[in-house]
Amino acid sequence: MEEALSLFQDNAFNVIDIGQFETNGKVGYFVNSLGMGIDAEISDEANRSPLKKWFDFVRAGKLIYLFIFIKKLFSYKPSCMELIIDGNRHLLKKVWFIVIANQPYFAGGMKISTMSKVDDGRLNVNAVHDITL
């Protein structure tokens, strides 16, 4: 116990950035990434899917995301989204997804935000919009 406490006293830990967001009047926080659009739907469905346990059991857990991505690709309907970043309003049309990232990887190891670093004081915004299937 004393050894664990000494880590805090000796400042032997790293400080990382935390993102804050507001949607529908509610404030939330995130450490790694915040996704909206098709990626959020894929993650939600993958985590609820009974197939995920089977994919994990055969050590192919990442494939569930690909399986659901292919399924969603033909059913997802891009929509308009408004982002306010540092006080600047951005209205994006036909949004497939927006990922606000504090680190490069998401969704089982896909590299989505190559410039992101957990301790640089910045969050990187990646938006895929106004494109056809």
What tens digit of pLDDT does each residue of 27-73 get? 999 988 898 999 899 989 988 888 888 877 888 777 888 888 899 99
Asked if residue 42 is part of any domain, the answer here is yes
Asked if residue 13 is part of any domain, the answer here is no
Asked if residue 8 is part of any domain, the answer here is no
Specify the pLDDT at position 63.
80
Asked if residue 7 is part of any domain, the answer here is no
Asked if residue 9 is part of any domain, the answer here is no
Asked if residue 27 is part of any domain, the answer here is yes
From 10-24, 43-57, 80-94, 108-122, the region with the lowest mean pLDDT: 10-24
Reference 126, options 50, 58, 106, 52; nearest CA is: 106
Task: Please tell me the total count of domains within the chain.
Answer: 1
In the predicted structure, residue 88 carries a pLDDT above the cut 90: yes
Asked if residue 5 is part of any domain, the answer here is no
Question: For residue 88, what are the domain limits?
Answer: 18-129
Asked if residue 3 is part of any domain, the answer here is no
